[in-house]
Amino acid sequence: MRSDTPPVSRRRVVVTGLGVRTPAGNDVASLWRTVLAGHSAIGPVERFDCADLPVRFAGEVRDFHAADVLGAKGARQTDRVTHLGFAAAVDAVSDASLGRPDPQRCAVVVGTGLGGIASFHDQVQVFLTHGPTRFSPRAIPMIMPNATAAVIASRLDWTGPSTCVTTACAAGADAIGEGTTLIRNDLADIVIAGGAEAAVNVLGLAAFARMGALSLRNDEPSRASRPFDAGRDGFVLSEGAAFVLLEERDHALRRGARVYGEVAGYGRATDTYHITAPSPGGGGAVRCMRLALADAGLPPTGIGHVNAHGTATVANDASEAAAIGEVFGPASPPVTATKGALGHLIGAAGAVEAVVSLLAMRHGLVPPTANFERPDPDLPVDVVAATPRPVGVRPVLSNSFGFGGQNASLVFTPAD
C-alpha cells in the first residue's frame, strides 16, 4: 500500500466548530491555555467521598451545572455523561454559527466507553436498599450508551442519522471518523461528532483501580499522569466531553464559515493480542496509523507532530512508542500527550485530543507533555516537554487506542 497516493475525488470534510467540558475548564480557551502551559488539571476528588478507595484523585469537571444547559427537569432525567456531552455539543454548534441548516442533512455521532455508569451505580443501590419496585422509570434511558446522542439530536431537532460508538477509549476518535464517513458518503452535510464520559464515581475509580490500571500517587495527584516518563505508574481517570462540528467543505465555504482544519485521514485496526493489554510491538497501532496516512494521501514525512494516546501506563506507552518508531522511522516527528495535563477521559479522550490537535496545528505549536521529566531510554520517541515547540502549520496525526484491541487514528490538515 502506498501512503503517498492521493485519495480519489470525494467530498471533503472540515471542522467549523469546537466545544468542550474538561478538567481544564468548560471552554476551548481554558483548555488550550492549560495544555499549552503544560499544567496539570488533576486533583483530589471533591464531588463524593472516596476515603475508602485506593485511588482518591481524578480529573473532575468543576463549576459545571447541568440545569444551566438542560433545565432542571432535563438534568434530573439524564446522566452526567449526557449533561457534559450535550453542553459541549451545543457549544460546538454555536461556535460554528450554523444558522438554520436542513435538519435532515444534519447528523449526530457520539462516542462513549461506559455510558451512564453513574446512574447504573445509583440504581443498583436503590435496588439493593429498596427492592425492584423503586427503580426510577427513567433508569434505562439514563443508563443506555446512546442517550447522549438521542438528547443532542432531539434538542437540536436534527433528523439525520444519530449514532453511538462504544469502542472504549477509541470512541471519541472513532465518532469523528464515522462522522467524516457520513459526510464523505453524502449521507449528511453537517455532523456534530465527539465523545463524552462521566466515569469519575465510586464504581469507576474502584473498578479501574482493581485492574491495576490507575496511578497510585495519592500524595501528589497533579504529578500522577506522566505519559512516556520513566516514572509512569498508571493513568488518571478523568471525565468530560468534547465535540467538533464537521461540515462538507463546499457547504462551509458557501456560508463563509471559519475553518479550523480538515479531517483528511481516518484509520481503524484491531489488535487481537489481549482484551486490555496492547500488543508489545504495537502491531494494530502501526496498521491504524498507516491506514490514516493512506486515507489522507500523505507520506509519514508529511506529519508535523503526533498527539499520542499516551495513557502513562507502562505497557501502553511502550507499545505506542514502538509503533510510532515503526511508522515514522528514526526521524519521527515530535510527540505530545494531552493526558499528562488532563488525565484519561476514556471515551471522550480521542475527541478532546482532536480539539487540542486542531488548535496546535492552527497555532503551529506542539504543546508540552505535562509531567514529562525523565525520558525512558527504551522509548524511541521525541516527546515535547517543558515548553511548546514551534513546528509551523503542518498536518497532525492523533492516536486513540482502547480496551478490546480498538485502534483509531485521525489526520488533520490545515485549512487551504
Please, which residues bridge with residue 282 across strands? none
Set of cell numbers at residue 162: 444519530
Please, which residues bridge with residue 196 across strands? 241
Identify the active-site residue in 106, 288, 305, 309: 309
Cβ atoms < 10 Å from Cβ of 331 = 8
Please give the C-alpha separations between residue 199 and each of 112, 203, 312, 348, in angstroms, as whole numbers: 10, 8, 18, 11
Beta-carbon contacts of residue 89 (< 8 Å; ≥ 6 apart): 19, 108, 110, 152, 192, 194, 241, 243
Nearest C-alpha neighbor of 368 from the set 127, 37, 43, 68: 37
Distance (Å, whole) CA 346 – CA 197: 7
**Strand, coil or helix: 401:** strand
Distance (Å, whole) CA 384 – CA 388: 7
**Strand, coil or helix: 187:** coil
Please give the radius of gyration of the chain, using alpha carbons only, rounded to the nearest integer. Answer: 20
Q: Assess whether 288 carries a catalytic annotation.
A: no
**Run of H or E residues at 250:** helix 249-254
**Run of H or E residues at 324:** helix 314-328
Distance (Å, whole) CA 164 – CA 175: 8
Set of cell numbers at residue 113: 466507553
Residue 99 CA to its chain's centroid (Å): 27
Q: Assess whether 50 carries a catalytic annotation.
A: no
Q: Are 347 and 300 in contact (CB under 8 A)?
A: no
CA-based end-to-end distance of the chain:
27
Q: Assess whether 251 carries a catalytic annotation.
A: no
Q: What are the φ/ψ torsions at residue 333 (nearest 5 degrees)?
A: -70, 165
Identify the active-site residue in 164, 169, 288, 305: 169
Beta-carbon contacts of residue 309 (< 8 Å; ≥ 6 apart): 169, 316, 320, 337, 339, 349, 399, 400, 401
**Strand, coil or helix: 407:** strand
| Active-site residue set | 169, 309, 344
